[in-house]
Amino acid sequence: MGIMALDVAQVCADLIRFDTTNRGGGDSAGERGAAEHVAALLQDSGVPSTLLEPAPRRANVLARVPGTDPSLPAVLVQAHLDVVPADAAEWSFDPFGGEIRDGFVHGRGAVDMKDMAAMTLTVLSRWHAEGRRPRRDVVLAFVADEEDQGVYGAHWLVEHHAAHFAGVQAAISESGAFSYDVGGVRLYPVGTAERGTSHVKLTATGRAGHGSRRNDSNAVTALVTTLARIAAHEHPVRLTPTVEAFLVGAGKALGVEVDLDDVDGTLTRLGPAAKLVENTVRCSTTPTMLQAGYKVNVIPGTATAQLDVRTLPGTVDELVATLDSLLAPGVTREFLEHQPPVEAPIDTAWFTAMADALRDEDPAAHVLPYCLGGGTDAKAFSRLGIACYGFSPLRLPEGGGYDYRAMAHGVDERVPVAGLEFGVRVLDRFLSS
């Protein structure tokens, strides 16, 4: 009897059952159990792996599948094993039950991103069962801590284990290559860029005093004046190569007029497709946290706020200068986190191979480059000179019953079984060739 390949839905369900909740700030259930499970599945597929822990239970799994042509540059497949918290009281099923029913795998991490980990492991088991090998080396990294700052995961690996990624030219991971239905036209956005992530703390300092007395140096007033300016500021449109290519390609696929001098008008004409791009035509500076005062009749000497700042490739200096110009007297800023944007080239054999693999499985696919509004571990791996792409292929159900973009970090997260099986076939084509 021959070796049996893994069933992707079952692999995904089993991974979901490991509670790898990452609450941030080092507070985590830990990835160790899931990492050991991944290592065992790799071993069953004839792939030896190394388990690395920068802190107790914060585990990463590294492996390499040798290709038939060692002269070719290697490709990295990276997936994170941690998930964001899930409040079971809000869900209609157990977030960590890993149920397979009604054509879906249910649970936290189903689309972010234990699905990609499961698809990758399933491809490797197929190769083992069929005695196949890829043309080029396939480097694997199943990592911790993506849902916080990567200090126990990708950023730590890049700083301490860069040698594992020697020879890697391109990487694939989450947030791209899912089908997006617009009136019967199937778009497949492949991530080729992502906005930078900066967390900015504003501190207003003034003169503390009695709340009943005149005070022209009120820290709270200075802070709210600054926040009002920031909230009212409209950042200019800045079209990166990825976003421009998306607009032009989507317009062509949908038969919509695209005017790059009137991006807001173009977004209106793109209809539902605008949701894929509307957050990436501009930078953003969003106030999210406020702290001031300790008694209602006391004017405090300091007041602070935090901003979630997202920068497009090529805009960081301009954005910082704009932010500084909006600060009221007595208000200073500091970066709590400052990860620059990343952008991978579109006109490469890598992108072409991804598009070909998608079209081989779905001949009606319109494959477009896409800029992520949020961030991923691409920020870490791009520091090694690796071109990072969002390529986690899924064919999704059409119609209004399933909102894929609401799944990641959302309530009742689930992924279609047929979509996972499609993804395995696409990944197999891409990684084999």
Amino acid at the residue 230? I
Q: What is the DSSP letter of 237?
A: P
Interatomic CA distance for residues 285 and 319, integer angstroms? 9
Question: Is residue 258 one of the residues assigned to a domain?
Answer: no
Question: Is residue 117 one of the residues assigned to a domain?
Answer: yes
Interatomic CA distance for residues 424 and 428, integer angstroms? 6
Per-residue pLDDT tens for 393-424?
A: 999 998 778 999 899 999 999 999 999 999 99
Q: Examine the pLDDT at 2 and tell me if it is beyond 80.
A: no
Question: Is residue 406 one of the residues assigned to a domain?
Answer: yes
pLDDT-based confidence at 118, cuts 50/70/90?
Answer: very high
Alpha carbon 336 to its chain's center = 20
Q: Examine the pLDDT at 433 and tell me if it is beyond 60.
A: yes
User: Cα-flanking dihedrals φ and ψ of residue 31, to 5°?
Assistant: -100, 0
pLDDT-based confidence at 17, cuts 50/70/90?
Answer: very high
User: What are the beta bridge partners of residue 196?
Assistant: 311
| Structural contact between residues 380 and 161, judged by C-beta atoms closer than 8 angstroms | no
Query: Which of the listed residues 313, 340, 367 is the one where a domain comes to its end?
Result: 340
Strands ordered across the beta sheet of 100-101 = 100-101, 104-106, 414-416
Query: Which of the listed residues 292, 325, 340 is the one where a domain comes to its end?
Result: 340
Q: What are the Cα distances from residue 426, in Å, to 20, 119, 371, 429?
A: 27, 10, 21, 5
Interatomic CA distance for residues 37 and 20, integer angstroms? 12
Question: Is residue 347 one of the residues assigned to a domain?
Answer: no
Amino acid at the residue 39? A
Question: Is residue 213 one of the residues assigned to a domain?
Answer: yes
Q: Examine the pLDDT at 176 and tell me if it is beyond 70.
A: yes
Q: Are residues 165 and 136 in the same domain?
A: yes
Percent of the chain with pLDDT over 90: 96
pLDDT at 277: 96
Q: Are residues 45 and 166 in the same domain?
A: yes
Q: Are residues 16 and 147 in the same domain?
A: yes
Interatomic CA distance for residues 310 and 321, integer angstroms? 14
Tokens encoding 55:
């802190």
| Structural contact between residues 93 and 87, judged by C-beta atoms closer than 8 angstroms | no
Number of domains in the chain: 2
Interatomic CA distance for residues 58 and 75, integer angstroms? 25
Q: Are residues 22 and 115 in the same domain?
A: yes
Interatomic CA distance for residues 203 and 361, integer angstroms? 53
User: Cα-flanking dihedrals φ and ψ of residue 322, to 5°?
Assistant: -60, -45
Q: Are residues 166 and 213 in the same domain?
A: no
CATH number, domain containing residue 303: 3.30.70.360
Per-residue pLDDT tens for 177-201?
A: 999 999 999 999 999 999 999 999 9
Question: Is residue 263 one of the residues assigned to a domain?
Answer: no
Tell me what the mean pLDDT of segment 350-377 comes to: 96
CATH number, domain containing residue 119: 3.40.630.10
Tell me what the mean pLDDT of segment 250-265 comes to: 97
Q: What is the pTM of this model?
A: 0.93
Mean model confidence pLDDT for the chain? 96
Q: Examine the pLDDT at 1 and tell me if it is beyond 80.
A: no
- Domain encompassing residue 316: 196-233+283-340
